Amino acid sequence: MTWRIGTVISTGKSWRGALELEVALDRPLPGRAAGPVTVRALAYTDLVGEPVPGDALLLNVSALARGLGTGGYALVVGPAAGTTHLPPDPVPGPGHLVKARYTPLQTMVLGVDEQESPHHATLADADSLDGMPVVVADLHSALPAVVAGLRHAAAQAGTTGAGGLKVAYVMTDGGALPAAFSRTIAALRDADWLTTCVTVGQAFGGDLEAVTVHTGLLAARHVAGCDVAVVAQGPGNLGTGTRWGYSGVAAGEAVNAAAALGGRPVASLRVSGADPRDRHLGVSHHSLTAYGRVALTPADIPVPVPTADVENMPAWGVPLTRRIREQAATLGSGTGSGTARHTLVDVPADAALVDTLRTSPAGLRTMGRGLDGDPASFVAAAVAGIHAHHLTGDTTRST
Contact at 8 Å (CB) between 173 and 234?
yes
- Predicted local confidence at residue 85, as pLDDT: 66
CA angle 138, 139, 142 (to 5 degrees): 110
Q: Domain containing 42 — which CATH number?
A: 2.40.50
**Burial profile 72-84: b = 16 or more Cβ within 10 angstroms, e = fewer:** ebbbbbbbbeebe
- d(CA 171, CA 143) in angstroms, rounded, equals 10
Residues in the chain: 399
Whether the predicted pLDDT of 203 surpasses 90: yes
pLDDT tens digit string along 367-384?
A: 889 999 999 999 999 999
Whether the predicted pLDDT of 343 surpasses 50: yes
Enclosing domain of residue 204: 122-394
Whether the predicted pLDDT of 397 surpasses 50: no
Reported confidence tier of residue 194, pLDDT bands at 50, 70, 90: very high
pLDDT tens digit string along 36-65?
A: 689 999 999 988 889 999 999 999 999 888
Contacts of residue 295, defined as CB under 8 A and 6 or more positions apart, other chains included, come to: 252, 253, 255, 256, 265, 267, 340, 342
Report which of 225, 223, 290, 217 is spatially closest to residue 258, judged by C-alpha positions. 217
Report which of 342, 347, 305 is spatially closest to residue 324, judged by C-alpha positions. 305
Alpha-helix runs per DSSP H in the chain: 45-48, 62-65, 120-124, 142-156, 183-190, 213-222, 251-260, 285-289, 308-311, 318-333, 351-358, 375-391
- d(CA 373, CA 351) in angstroms, rounded, equals 16
Indicate whether 156 and 58 sit together in one domain: no
Indicate whether 141 and 66 sit together in one domain: no
Indicate whether 243 and 150 sit together in one domain: yes
- Predicted local confidence at residue 71, as pLDDT: 74
- Predicted local confidence at residue 5, as pLDDT: 94
Domain membership of residue 98 (yes or no) is no
Indicate whether 288 and 161 sit together in one domain: yes
Indicate whether 198 and 53 sit together in one domain: no
Indicate whether 24 and 129 sit together in one domain: no
- Predicted local confidence at residue 399, as pLDDT: 28
Mean pLDDT, to the nearest integer, of 285-309? 95
Q: Is pLDDT larger for residue 13 or for residue 96?
A: 13
Other C-beta atoms within 10 Å of 53: how many?
12
Report which of 49, 74, 56 is spatially closest to residue 64, judged by C-alpha positions. 74
Report which of 184, 141, 49 is spatially closest to residue 382, judged by C-alpha positions. 141
Contact at 8 Å (CB) between 76 and 42?
yes
**Burial profile 166-194: b = 16 or more Cβ within 10 angstroms, e = fewer:** bbbbbbbbbbbbbbbbbbbbbbbbeeebb
DSSP string of 214-226, one letter each residue: HHHHHHHHHTS--
Whether the predicted pLDDT of 334 surpasses 60: no
Indicate whether 288 and 169 sit together in one domain: yes
Contact at 8 Å (CB) between 343 and 125?
no
Domain membership of residue 66 (yes or no) is yes
Domain membership of residue 236 (yes or no) is yes
- d(CA 347, CA 190) in angstroms, rounded, equals 29
Contacts of residue 121, defined as CB under 8 A and 6 or more positions apart, other chains included, come to: none
Indicate whether 210 and 154 sit together in one domain: yes
Domain membership of residue 92 (yes or no) is no
Indicate whether 245 and 385 sit together in one domain: yes
User: What is the distance between the terminal CA atoms of the chain, rounded to a whole angstrom?
Assistant: 48
Other C-beta atoms within 10 Å of 222: how many?
20
Torsion of CA 289, 178, 231, 99, to 10 degrees: 90
Q: Domain containing 144 — which CATH number?
A: 3.40.50
Residue 208 sits at φ, ψ, to 5 deg, of -130, 145
pLDDT tens digit string along 128-161?
A: 999 999 999 999 999 999 999 999 999 998 887 7
Domain membership of residue 189 (yes or no) is yes
Reported confidence tier of residue 72, pLDDT bands at 50, 70, 90: confident
Indicate whether 61 and 130 sit together in one domain: no
Domain membership of residue 89 (yes or no) is no
Domain membership of residue 100 (yes or no) is no
pTM of the model: 0.92
- d(CA 312, CA 308) in angstroms, rounded, equals 6
Residue 365 sits at φ, ψ, to 5 deg, of -155, 130
- Domain boundary residue among 19, 49, 79? 79
- Predicted local confidence at residue 367, as pLDDT: 87
Domain membership of residue 215 (yes or no) is yes
- d(CA 269, CA 376) in angstroms, rounded, equals 10
Average pLDDT of the chain is 91
Indicate whether 354 and 284 sit together in one domain: yes
- Predicted local confidence at residue 393, as pLDDT: 78
Reported confidence tier of residue 338, pLDDT bands at 50, 70, 90: very low
Max CA pair span of the chain: 64
- Predicted local confidence at residue 237, as pLDDT: 84
Domain total of the chain: 2
- d(CA 205, CA 110) in angstroms, rounded, equals 10
- Predicted local confidence at residue 398, as pLDDT: 34
Indicate whether 43 and 162 sit together in one domain: no
